[in-house]
Amino acid sequence: MTALLHVDNISKRFGGFVALDGIELAVEPGERLGLIGPNGSGKSTLVNCICGTLQNESGSVRFDGHVIDGLAAHQRTHRGIARSFQLPRPFHSMNLADNLRIPLLYTVHARLGPLRSAGDLDARCHELLEMVGLAKKAKQMPRDLTQVEMRKLELARAMAAEPKLLIADESMAGLSHSEIEDILALLVKLNERGITIILIEHIMSAVMSFSQRLAVLVSGKKIADGKPEDVVRNPEVVRAYLGQ
Amino acid sequence: MAKFSLITIAVGAMVMAGAHWVHVDYLYFASYTILQFIVLATAWNILGGYCGYVNFGSAAFFAMGAYSSVFIHKIYPLPVPLLILAGAIVSGIAGFGMGYLTLRLRGSFFAIATLALAVVLQTLVVNWEYVGGSRGAYIIRPEEIEFAGITINYIEYLFGLMLLLAVIALITARTIERSQLGFGFATIRDDELAAEASGVPTLRIKLIATTISGAFMGMAGAPFPYYIGYLQPSSAFGLEYAVNSIAMPMIGGTTSWIGPLVGAILLGSAQQYATVTISSAVNLLIVGLMLVAFVIIAPNGLVGLVQGWRRAWRKP
């Protein structure tokens, strides 16, 4: 198996509610995977189980050749899994540059040892902000940002950890058409640098243009997985997801 | 960093020299209390201000330092600096334990747990005969102490030790503030989930904070039996310690080392003044009123207020 991420038959329940029911998912290195499903279908729970915010009850998650079950979220970040949150969660008391400094200090340092000097750190923060087009606002606070800028900060902070896999959890919800294009272009650029991306999204046009492969979750089960154009024509998907 | 330490030590030495020059016993008594509150407030702020975990049990950590001194004094009286070290170890371990037991608790639940810890410990001490139980314990303070041929007044000696502790606490707080650890503390205050996702080991960092905070509170408490001469549970676990160590950083400002310092000097002096002119019973009233006033006028404390003014000044 050469998959970067291999989710093997994982389940998660909250009390009597089965949030994930035997999910099986493999993601190849460098792939762009779209993950869709109606509200409450378990997408975010799956993300949380992959990232370590929640622990799966059965099955296992393998990343980069190692089983990562039981590892805390920060350990998984150190291994190379980064995520952006559905609702942006910046560090409110820090300016944008310092927001990016955290993953640099705690993840990149932890991985490589303290190689970076203070100057290198500043340069790297600036470079990341440049990448998402926020370089001019380095000294501003997160509260001064617009929605789309907040999403970009969220992605930049995930990228600061220098991940192998980036999970973008609804990073376009509530944005305008041109803003969606902005974020999509950014994600494609990251993918071209060799980062594997899982995109969770409701906006179908964005998912269709971005994904090389599409997986569909419905009430905790994966009901389809394949080429986007095939998946959206799958009658089961049409019935459950698009509504008919 | 080194510069700040030098300046702080120099200021400390100046205070010491100034106090020696004035040489009024009452001054030592009063300033000792204020210095003790600087240590307590700074210690509280390392957990409460930097990490955002409100500890209502400061009195318990303070009392643990004080009672570990009483305990050791009963076995074999050691010099006070060693007692301070013992207090730091006992309260540091207690801080670590408290952190470990309350890891999953956040916000008001954490605060309630720390309050419960204080109540439990007070009950234990009240029923522990060896350290005096509810009757309390007497420690006869020597009149003076000899140091390399120089005899100094014992209360001046205690004052000097507490001054040294305050200097160490402030240097520690400022060092943390500017370090990787300080950034980690701030992420816990802002958003623990995002902190974990950025690779911050929030659990370990929280334990570091509860341990350091607890240890400093224990150090503040260790010389207390010698200072007061008679230690009873109700004075060591006094409400004023819990309330003051929260109120002082709040009034000064919780995001920087200078906040607890300013708050402790301001509130501590006001209380000492009130004790002499009105009554010591009015102390908590002063704290309460000032806290209410500051929550309304300056929710970010004096430091926040000044920062706000400076920002307004720069962009008119």
CA end-to-end span of chain B? 33
Q: Is residue B93 in some structural domain? A: yes
Q: Is residue B294 in some structural domain? A: no
Question: What is the pTM (predicted TM-score) of this model?
Answer: 0.90
Q: How many residues does chain B have?
A: 316
Write out pLDDT tens, residues A154-189.
999 999 998 999 999 988 888 888 889 988 999 999
Write out pLDDT tens, residues B67-87.
999 999 988 888 889 999 999
CB pair distance less than 8 Å for A106 and B184: yes
Residue A239, both tokens: 């019935």
Write out pLDDT tens, residues B173-216.
999 998 999 999 999 999 999 999 999 999 999 999 999 999 99
- Asked if B308 and B264 count as a contact pair (C-beta separation under 8 A), the reply is no
Domains, chain A, with CATH or none: 5-243 (3.40.50.300)
Q: Is residue B312 in some structural domain? A: no
**Whole-number pLDDT of residue A114:** 59
CB pair distance less than 8 Å for A93 and B193: no
**What's the CATH number where B34 sits?**
1.10.3470
Write out pLDDT tens, residues B253-272.
988 999 999 999 999 998 88
* Dihedral sign, Cα of residue A114, residue A117, residue A118, residue A122: negative
Q: Is residue B216 in some structural domain? A: yes
Q: Is residue B280 in some structural domain? A: no
User: What share of chain B in percent tops pLDDT 70?
Assistant: 99
**Whole-number pLDDT of residue B204:** 93
Q: Is residue B315 in some structural domain? A: no
For Cα atoms B144, B150, B153, give the angle at the middle one, nearest 5 degrees: 25
> Measured between beta carbons, which residues in chain A are less than 8 angstroms from residue B202?
74
Write out pLDDT tens, residues B21-46.
887 888 888 899 999 999 999 999 99
> Measured between beta carbons, which residues in chain B are less than 8 angstroms from residue A106?
180, 184, 198-201
Q: Which residues lie below 8 Å from residue A45, measured CB to CB, with a gap of 6+? A: A12, A19, A20, A54, A220
Task: Identify residues of A whose CB sits under 8 angstroms from chain B CBs.
Answer: 51-53, 72-75, 77-78, 82-83, 85, 89-94, 98, 101-103, 105-107, 109-110, 157-158, 160-161
Q: Is residue B309 in some structural domain? A: no
- Asked if A95 and A140 count as a contact pair (C-beta separation under 8 A), the reply is yes
- What is the per-residue burial (b if ≥16 Cβ within 10 Å, else e) of A45-55? bbbbbbbbbbe
**Whole-number pLDDT of residue A202:** 85
Quick one: average pLDDT of B275-295? 84
CB pairs under 8 A between A and B: 81
> Measured between beta carbons, which residues in chain B are less than 8 angstroms from residue A77?
196-199
CB pair distance less than 8 Å for A77 and B199: yes
**Whole-number pLDDT of residue A113:** 61
CB pair distance less than 8 Å for A102 and B200: yes
Quick one: average pLDDT of B129-140? 85
Counted domains in chain B = 1
Question: Average per-residue pLDDT in chain B?
Answer: 89
Rounded CA gap, B82 and B100, in Å?
27
Write out pLDDT tens, residues B210-251.
999 999 999 999 999 999 889 989 888 988 898 899 999 999
With tokens 């509530």, the residue in question is A174
Show the domain range for B138. Answer: 2-250
> Measured between beta carbons, which residues in chain A are less than 8 angstroms from residue B195?
74, 91, 102
Helix axes A147-160, A96-103, angle to 10 degrees: 30
CB pair distance less than 8 Å for B190 and A91: yes
Rounded to two decimals, the ipTM of the complex is 0.88
**Whole-number pLDDT of residue A115:** 55
> Measured between beta carbons, which residues in chain A are less than 8 angstroms from residue B198?
74, 77, 102-103, 106-107, 157, 160-161
Distances (CA, A) of B137 to B154, B217, B234: 19, 20, 12
Q: Enumerate residue ranges in chain A where pLDDT < 70.
A: 1, 111-116, 241-244
Tell me the H-state helices in chain B: 2-22, 25-48, 58-75, 80-101, 107-126, 154-177, 180-190, 192-197, 202-221, 224-228, 233-236, 239-252, 258-277, 283-297, 301-314
Rounded CA gap, B8 and B42, in Å?
14
CB pair distance less than 8 Å for B190 and A103: no
